[in-house]
């Protein structure tokens, strides 16, 4: 996330990359909305029709949720062979969902103008953070089952029994299992 924040501070990203990406969002969303709306125009970051108009601003771009998703994937103990497809698929899914978000916000503005702010800020922004985390959880579960998981990640999933001798008691721990601490007396009763 820190790298993302640093990139956002550069003049190239602020003045060139983000505006171009926002225009692309407006054009793609406008193309879909244009199938259903007469007299729709897209100019720069604006989508305009006689019924409603939107301007795609910074923050309406799914970049932050994608950065959150990518940070989670990069931090997860898996090989890059598993990370790269996950990063691409998750980011593309979030970007496509952002187009759905923009299109739905246009129609919220057309039909429920008084609810626009609540849907835009409270519902969609929260939903996008939730979706980024959900996509990461789904990816992490699949990656942890994959053949490319790192050995220490695989070890935490398997049933490894460790015996620890302590001064007054014995303990039997099953990493990722159900056994917990057993007293010396319980161990002798169980025959261990």
What is the radius of gyration, based on Cα positions, of the chain?
25
Q: What's the confidence (pLDDT) of residue 4?
A: 63
* Closest of 113, 110, 96, 106 to residue 33, by C-alpha: 106
pLDDT higher than threshold 70 for residue 139: yes
C-alpha span between 40 and 52 (Å, rounded): 9
pLDDT higher than threshold 90 for residue 88: yes
Where is average pLDDT lowest: 5-14, 58-67, 73-82, 174-183?
A: 174-183
Q: What's the confidence (pLDDT) of residue 149?
A: 46
* Closest of 25, 40, 61, 51 to residue 109, by C-alpha: 51
Q: What's the confidence (pLDDT) of residue 53?
A: 93
Q: What's the confidence (pLDDT) of residue 3?
A: 65
Whether the model clears a pTM of 0.85, i.e. scores above it, the answer is: no
Give the residue, 123 or 152, on which the prediction is more confident. 123
Please say whether the beta carbons of 47 and 120 come within 8 A. no
Query: What CA–CA distances, in Å, run from 183 to 4, 49, 188?
Result: 50, 74, 9
Please say whether the beta carbons of 57 and 45 come within 8 A. yes
Quickly count: other Cβ atoms within 10 Å of residue 131's Cβ: 18
Domain ranges (residues) in the chain? 2-150, 159-190
C-alpha span between 185 and 178 (Å, rounded): 19
pLDDT band of 54, cuts 50, 70, 90: very high
Q: What's the confidence (pLDDT) of residue 105?
A: 96
The mean pLDDT value of the chain amounts to: 78
């Amino acid at each position: 996330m820190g790298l993302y924040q640093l990139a956002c501070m550069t003049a190239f990203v602020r003045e060139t990359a983000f505006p171009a990406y926002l225009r692309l969002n407006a054009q793609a969303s406008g193309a879909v909305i244009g199938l259903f709306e007469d007299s729709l125009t897209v100019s720069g970051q604006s989508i305009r029709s006689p019924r409603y108009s939107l301007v795609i601003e910074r923050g309406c771009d799914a970049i932050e949720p994608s950065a959150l998703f990518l940070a989670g994937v990069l931090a997860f103990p898996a090989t890059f062979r598993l990370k790269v497809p996950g990063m691409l698929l998750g980011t593309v899914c979030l970007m496509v969902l952002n187009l759905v978000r923009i299109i739905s916000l246009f129609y919220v503005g057309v039909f429920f103008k008084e609810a626009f702010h609540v849907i835009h800020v409270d519902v969609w922004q929260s939903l996008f953070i939730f979706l980024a985390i959900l996509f990461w959880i789904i990816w992490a579960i699949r990656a942890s089952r994959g053949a490319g998981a790192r050995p220490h990640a695989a070890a935490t999933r398997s049933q490894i029994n460790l015996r620890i001798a302590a001064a007054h008691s014995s303990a039997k721990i099953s990493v990722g299992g159900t056994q917990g601490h057993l007293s010396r007396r319980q161990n002798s009763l169980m025959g261990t």
